[in-house]
Amino acid sequence: MFSPEMFRLHGHSLIDLLADRLSAQLQGQGAVLPWRDPVTEDTRWQRPLPQQPTLDAEHWLQQLQQDILPGGLAIHHVRNMGHQVAAPLPMAALCDLVASLSNQAMAVYEAGPTATMLERQVIRWLSTLVGWDSPRLNGLLTSGGNQANLTALLAARQRALPGNSWQQGVPSQGRLCILASEHSHYSISRAAGIMGLGTAAVVTVACDAEGRMQPAALQQAHAACVAQGQQVMAVVASAACTPTGSIDPLGAIGLYCRAHQLWLHVDGAHGASGLLSARHRMALDGIALADSVVWDGHKLLYMPATVSAVLFRDPANRHAAFAQEASYLFQGDTMDDFNTSTSTLECTKRMMGLKLWTAFSLYGVEGLGALVDQVYGLAQQLAHKLAADPAFELLMAPQTNIVCFRHRGEDSDRHAMNAHQAVLRQRLVQSGAFHITQVTLDGQIWLRTALMNPFTSAEDLDALLAALQQPLQ
């Protein structure tokens, strides 16, 4: 079970299998998604709990090759255009193998010394890109953007309630609220629910026709909250929002928050990677005014899921989210600055920093930024093709790599148009030819592509539009 020789032998075979699949997907071979009815699949996968072995290593590899891997979404396929999930860099995937086998728990420094130093280095690099150069560490890595947003908002709550809210809870008087874009990620309202504020504490701020928060609407929402006796705990801006990829005007929002002493949190899970690009980073001007920023590595930093960064302008806020006592881990001395569990929801935490450190070390900001430039450019190409084709309607010019549009169809009735988009998407996805998603905005359904793969070509975009114009059977 722990044989190094068997690990070496089957590890080589596994790498060969994965490399062959990677090559085929980057060349557009095979189905993007071999659709199977989930109810039928669930029945097929029900087996009795094995009391004795049912496979040897060779048959396990065969199962991977013949059933498990082919049954999944082909994430590196050039026609996979659905979700904001990276087609991960192969070398970063190898880092996850290293992290899994070395299994550095990282609860405290002694459980993962090098892993801790890697994380600290990566946090410093990301903070530099945001525009913060601090000699003190000002962030941490978490397993996903939901957890990252929660951590940042917990720190904001601590500043809003400087007493011991961690032990005594949130007082009912002076109810806290959060101002957020109407297109903010659901993790913001989820965090409000987890913190005991209630999801109704999230006050939505109107956006313009380009999906960006309106500073005038922010001012009005803030004034309304104050008039109702509410305390604004944080303002959440998006860079970029999930539905449309729109980037809020961070500079104007940041200046308003500074003037009114409001905590500004920027959810840059998707769009913060624009900071890597000399061509696109100006769209994020003002991000350094934020008090906290979230940045997902498993989106446009091309990391395997999951790794997210929570960054704080003031390094002191790194320890503000949690105030837990655990003498078997934390001794309350200077070592606690190196114990990651003092700052994060997680105790045991995998060595996430290795893959980010490796990517920056192997490819640099310029190499990673070129990937961002490529997929942003693909979005512009698709938008031009849609605008030139009378069969389609483009929602807005893309601000990142997300494009929303719809097929006009033959019926202009809203309900019929919505049904038409949904049927088109379902047919396309279940065919295995492409993977795209859909989004509902103001009661209208739009088809949505997140162009994540730098190997996707103009020919693939043409094929997508052609497939969407095939007559429904």
Q: In this structure, are strands 139-142 and 308-312 parallel, antiparallel, or unpaired?
A: antiparallel
- Residues 6+ positions from 190 with CB-CB distance below 8 Å: 146, 150, 199
The segments of the chain whose pLDDT lies below 50 read: 324, 326-330
- Positive/negative CA dihedral, 25, 73, 307, 153: positive
Structure tokens at 279: 């061509």
- State which CATH number among 3.40.50.2300, 3.20.20.450, 3.40.640.10, 3.20.20.140 fits the domain covering 98-360: 3.40.640.10
Residues 343 and 140: beta-carbon distance below 8 Å = yes
Residue where the block lists tokens 């990517």? 359
Question: How many Cα atoms occupy the beta-carbon half-sphere of 130 within 13 Å?
Answer: 35
Q: In this structure, are strands 402-407 and 444-450 parallel, antiparallel, or unpaired?
A: antiparallel
Residues 468 and 385: beta-carbon distance below 8 Å = no
% helix, strand, coil for the chain, step of 5: 45, 15, 40
Q: Tell me the per-residue pLDDT of 58-101, one tens digit each, with 9 for 90 and over.
A: 999 999 999 999 999 999 999 999 999 999 999 999 999 999 99
Dump the DSSP string for 68-86. ITTTS--TT-TTB-SSS--
Question: How many Cα atoms occupy the beta-carbon half-sphere of 323 within 13 Å?
Answer: 14
Residue 312 confidence (pLDDT) = 96
Q: Tell me the per-residue pLDDT of 318-338, one tens digit each, with 9 for 90 and over.
A: 988 886 454 444 455 566 778
Structure tokens at 156: 């904001």
3-state secondary structure of 199: helix
Q: What is the DSSP letter of 391?
A: T
Q: What is the DSSP letter of 247?
A: B
The residues that bridge with 450 in the sheet, in sequence order, are: 402
3-state secondary structure of 292: strand
